[in-house]
Chain A
Amino acid sequence: MSSATTISEHAPVHRSGESTGVTNAKLGIWLFLASEIMLFSTLFTTYIVLRLGAASWPRGWDVLNVPLGMINTFVLITSSVTMVMAYAKAHEKNLKGFQTYMSLTIFLAFVFLINKGIEYSAHFRHNEFPSTSIFHAVYFTLTGLHGLHVIGGIIVNSTLLYLSKTDFEHPLFLGRVEGAGLYWHFVDIVWIFLFPALYLL
């Protein structure tokens, strides 16, 4: 038996997930999402404290565009469905299906941002800015930060769509799609809480 064989038999093998039960990529994305949960929880808590301490607070449905918010809610829910379908197609090694569903996810993210842009421009036309009131400061901060996360999702998903042309068969590609899918679902779930908190309460 050669010395090289002996070393390879006894050397520790660092396979992903050996000690944690999940792949390194999935552990990394969940750690990142944990930090994101802390960020949005802090902002939500700030919103609750400011609202409870305010002498008066406008009703969301009186000052915000509920139908447009409702449309955006369904747009994001649908985009989560297309995202998980893209992952399912990648799992089935169906490149065409993956590209179709990933393109749909990116398209729906743009639809969300366009609707948000329409909403923002209406506020600006009515001279409503973050400095107008505490309510507007909270509204623009929470929805603006969420919008930035949507833009981040578009960048990640577009990169994966581009890479699929060459790296679709790469052993790590599926894990990357799953990571992007987890991030996208997180962004969507934040909106599921933002919409009723700002528009309906």
Chain B
Amino acid sequence: MSLKKFHLFFISTSLSLMVFIGGWVAYQFQMGKGKDWLGTGAIAVVGFILGLIYANWFRVKYKNL
């Protein structure tokens, strides 16, 4: 596997982590502690959106890497 493919795999894994953190914050809300982790949830959502934009940009920009 080339570095380019491994990088895209890594970004996909990171995006999955952002989804996991989002789910974890939702669980904390259910437990009544959600407010403490609101910032963490917001960062995960922003990270997920930025990650998606970056992955798309990287695939197009470095098509021949």
Contact = CB atoms under 8 A, between A and B. Distances in A.
B65 A91 contact: yes
Interface stretch (A106-114, A157-165, A178-186): A178-186
Candidate in A73, A87, A182, A200 with the most chain B CB atoms within 10 angstroms: A200
A99 to B, nearest CB: 18
Contact of A178 (B2, B39, B58): B2
Interface string B6-32: 110011011001001100100000000
A77 B58 CA distance: 14
A189 B10 contact: yes
B25 to A, nearest CB: 10
Measured as residues with beta carbon below 8 angstroms from the partner, the interface class of chain B is 20 to 34
Given A81-B54, A200-B20, A200-B21, A192 B7 contact: no
Interface in A81-117: 81, 84, 87-88, 91
Given A66-B37, A70-B43, A80-B7, 19 more contacts: A67-B39, A67-B40, A70-B40, A77-B47, A77-B51, A80-B10, A81-B54, A84-B4, A84-B7, A84-B58, A178-B2, A182-B6, A185-B6, A192-B10, A192-B13, A192-B17, A196-B17, A200-B21, A200-B24
A168 interface: no
A91 to B, nearest CB: 6
A74 interface: yes
Interface residues of A, number: 23
B40 A66 contact: yes
B65 to A, nearest CB: 6
A155 to B, nearest CB: 19
A70 B18 CA distance: 10
Contacts of B21: 70, 196, 200
Contacts of B1: 30, 182
Contact of A185 (B7, B17, B39, B40): B7
Nearest 3 interchain pairs by C-beta? A181-B3, A84-B7, A178-B3
B65 A88 contact: yes
Nearest to B39: A67
A91 B11 CA distance: 21
B3 A182 contact: yes
A88 B21 CA distance: 31
Nearest to A178: B3
